Chain A
């Protein structure tokens, strides 16, 4: 048995300062918990206790690029960041685009102990954007999230056939990476003052906006469930807001880095600030924070994208796109949400679990619920210098952050602890 004492517990009735008892893989008591022989007692010291975090968007590079990350190192990074479930993107090598690859990926994911790995499958064969992937076999294997992340489906006609097909499979989610390559392909950072100053090709916001508008229209037409990945522009947020207001089944995510930093930081080019979508303008960043607070953006997803130091130690235009995020997300998001515990867990756990259809995650802490939990101190300062991830390409490397994960509990087992009293 594990007893967590003196935590700010997110219960069905709101936040309550109390204790929580865990037996096996379940929460068995919330409130005052009687001491038990042989129980491990964790003193939370007034830190937040809520459902384990859920990340809709990670790249674990496994199989294919395991020098950057693999399932085990990725799972350790997830646990260190307070996560109990992650959705792995299918742009591995080979991509997860068939029944047999799905079966293998799910079985390998299930063998990882300290985090639930929800495997996503591709929307098109080989992620080539030409033909539908093998949806029925992947669905039978248990895949529910489908995405060509890294690219959107390039043609509206193919997207419409895909959405029509998947709308008939209960629980299937189409997650789109909104990027019109014809508008973005020459770019390396947000098109604006910084791209002008450096004379480097810009990535205009309209490249995202155009695909968001198209995808919402096609989703509405087909009745498919659409999830928009890593939104970064104010215009895209407004499109989602309008779609929601008029009843479309659309959800959206934002990354921690788009909440925390804007392209002003790129006065000095740093490959750890290179990703897609790029860091946008200060006005875009404000719109992301506002959208996350008011719920137009449902979830924070890290787009955890490991690349090694050597791969990033090149001129900016040659650097691969992407940054890691699992181990720093909770701190960034709690600050962006001004320390609102209920909204924090809604966006970081409850909503993403609902979007991905993860029944054992994202539940308010009550007796009988699965013991997937995180203890997070929103006031603790720390500086990320080393990572559980194999890679260290973090935009927050060496920067003081406020908010630290003290412990992560996955299915009743402590998978990470650090700095507990």
Chain B
């Protein structure tokens, strides 16, 4: 009798023409929650600037949206420009000179190739755990190369 009852439970659709009706209520609940979450994070513009993979950017309350300008990345180990590793941090962090020669050479090569200069603006993507000593040297070298308008890429808080 027990086995017959179980079979009746599992084949309840057989008497209605052999169709199986799965219980979709919980699935629709999940889909609805997912839909609300995705609509909240929906962005028509998207991000004009992409964060580098190997960086943990600092968090800030700033709401100023970034524009695509020349960008330098300072990871925990190296200084990177347009995907190319220019120098390792250890090579210049204790140097007597404030100028990073590799970066200055990269700027001069870039200017020789007549790449359009974007209004002396430069954006620094720096890891949050980097010491200011490294950032300071990068900024100084940038100013020597003619860049005076700086911005820092940060993760928007909240």
Partners in one complex: no
Residues of B within 8 A of A (CB): none
Residues of A within 8 A of B (CB): none
